[in-house]
Structure 1
Amino acid sequence: MSGFTAYVGVDYSGAATVHDRLPGLAAYRAAPGEEPRRVRPAKGGNWSRAELHRWLAEQLAAEPTIAGLDFAFAFPEGYFRRYHLPDWDAFLVDFRHHWPTDAPGVTVEACRPGNPRTGSPDELRLCERWTPAAKSVFRFDVQGAVAKSAHAGLPWLARLRRKQSGTVHFWPFDGFRPTPGKSLAVEVYPALFKRRFHPDGRNDHQQDAYAVARWLAETDTHGFLPRYLQPPLTSEETDTALREGWILGVS
């Protein structure tokens, strides 16, 4: 095993504002050898994005945790070239400036008209081209679209990066090999795992988060996690992934 003592799965939502409680937000946490349990806000009910990210930051700081988050951590390489962004950290700063969706009262929809930072719905990252069903981060307004989640989640990821770069390894941007002793934040695509586990009354959002937490825990327990953290990429593909990011489990 890798030394993680907690495994977190998060199903994400880019709806409404940061303080709205959303049924599309769900989190599950597992400890080694235990069934994942649903994590709820202190006041009960559904999470808001602001509450969820506060809890996640505390969890990552409290113990060695691997957290799988269901939104894109970066955009296709063409986006980096268009806007002259040298690396992921520059991307995060620039993105939050143009899409301040972590600010009170701001929605993804309100930021869309005329926004100078965007892309074409047919643009895909390398990891998305390696999957049969992943959609572009620029494809809004279609069934199964992930664009809103990405555009709502990235500013929070930037906050986490600023505050906890010393305690959290952001995979793969800090390297494909995790830093010993640090928590690990990874991008996931729950569709890769969710059918392996019976839903047992969980709704779709809860099942996605549950499946991620359980897959992370079981994969680590069986000693297979290092295999997924080192996908079979060429040197050129690795350089691309260090900017675009990668989906854990895609190989």
Structure 2
Amino acid sequence: MTDFERFVAIDWSGAGTEDTAADLAAVLATRGPDGWDFELLEPSKPRRTRWRRREMRERLAELLAPDEPRTLVAVDSGFTYPYGTARALLDEPTETPWRDLVRHLARAYAEHGTARAAARAVNDAADGPGPFRFNDSRNDCRFYTGHQVGYFRQVEMLAPQVISTFYMGSGAAVGFHTITFLAAVDELIDRRERDEVDFQVWMHEAFDADDAHHLLAECYPSLFDGVRKELEDTRPDLNAHERDAMACARWLVETQESGELADYFEPRESPVGRRSDCSWTEQLAFEGWILGVPWPT
């Protein structure tokens, strides 16, 4: 696999609106003459210390421009849902289920303004109980049994402590992040169609990392607890979100330098969590994978 020249690690946010000050952090890793440099990205507006998601969308578009060095952007956010979700939520059958579901959720988010409101609207429009779980419906399984959709993706069944992208109740939840980030992806894909950016989303659009100039990948900092704990001692200046982004960036650099990163981009099939109504490549193209979770051996 061709090496990446830069890494961007983002701890995404799902709270509030696009213009709300968010608990969002991003680290840019670049190769310098004396090794890799790690830069904590900051908002461009003077005196502003916290990112707005709208600003981060613009910064991402700059980083993913066609003439920028080859970059892997790793984001702490869900990129999708279990196989069958598009079939259950979209009005018409589609040959591009992941892309069409992304567009569907992005439109709901644009109309309703927050991830919570968008998810409730999707639930209300569903045929029967909807997919997103809030505190008042956290144990309602009828969407999954009624549509034969799992609560977890295949990769989530293999990774401890991963939370379903459907969950939006109290406590730790990635459901909010997932909707707001997929709205950002939808905008980036529109920009790509205008040749403003040059990227693909792994594995939804590109199975082979070398097929893309820039690459977007799902990546959870909780996989790298050792790096995070080390940063607590060595970088006390970082807050929790900055530390998560830095841990992802550090892991990506160290794994590429050791020659092990390519193996994380080489799919190996497992019977755990496999759907019987589609091919494995179809399931992967919709469900994706979390970069950093080893492929089954």
Instruction: Calculate the TM-score normalised by the size of structure 1.
Output: 0.90
Give the corresponding residue for 2:180.
152
SS of equivalent to 2:27: strand
1:170 corresponding residue in structure 2:
201
Q: Report the 3-state secondary structure (helix = DSSP H, G, I; strand = E; otherwise coil) of the residue aligned with 1:185.
A: strand
Q: Distance in 2 between matches of 1:107 and 1:95?
A: 11
Deviation of 1:114 after TM superposition, in Å, equals: 4.2
Partner of 1:47: 51
Deviations 1:187-229 (A, max 9, x none): 1111001432422212210111001111111211222111001
Report deviation, 1:120.
Answer: 5.3
| Percent of residue pairs bearing the same amino acid type | 29
Match among 229, 234, 251 for residue 265 of structure 2: 229
Match of 1:93 in 2: 103
Q: CA deviation at 1:111?
A: 2.5
Tell me, in whole angstroms, the C-alpha distance in 1 between the residues paired with 2:15 and 2:121: 20
Contact kept, 8 Å, 2:10 with 2:25, in 1: the verdict is yes
- The residue identity in structure 2 corresponding to 1:60 is L
1:32-43 mapped onto 2 (5 Å cutoff): 32=31, 33-43=35-45
Instruction: Please name the residue that 2:248 is paired with.
Output: 212
Question: Structure 1 residues 35, 193: CA separation in 2 closer, same or farther (over 3 Å shift)?
Answer: farther
Separation in 1, partners of 2:158, 2:281: 14
> What whole-Å deviation, never above 9, does each CA across 1:73-132 have from its counterpart, x for those lacking one?
1111131231344422122122222332xx7x8112233434326415471111111111
Counterparts of 1:28 and 1:13, CA distance in 2? 15
1:179 counterpart (194, 210, 223): 210
- For the residues of structure 2 that align with 1:137 and 1:195, how far apart are their CA atoms? 25
Alignment partner, residue 28 of structure 1: 27
Unaligned runs of 5+ in 2: 134-140, 142-150, 271-277
Greater relative contact order, per chain length (Cα 8 Å cut-off, separation 6+): 1
Give the drift of 1:180.
Answer: 4.8
CA contact (8 A) 2:227 2:250 kept: no
Structure 1 residue aligned with 2:114? 107
The 1:226–1:15 alpha-carbon spacing in structure 2 relative to 1, beyond 3 Å, is: same
Please say if residues 224 and 248 of structure 2, whose CA atoms lie closer than 8 Å, have aligned partners that are also in contact.
yes
Name segments (4+ residues, structure 1) moved above 4 Å: none
Alpha-carbon distance in 2 for matches of 1:180, 1:64? 12
Three-state SS of the structure 1 residue aligned to 2:285 is helix
Larger displacement relative to structure 2 (149-158 or 231-240): 231-240
Number of aligned pairs?
247
Q: Determine if contact 1:193/1:211 at 8 Å carries over to the other structure.
A: yes
Please tell me whether the aligned partners of residues 7 and 67 of structure 1 are also in contact (alpha carbons under 8 angstroms). yes
* Distance change (3 Å), C-alpha of 1:39 and 1:194: farther
Rg: which structure is higher?
2
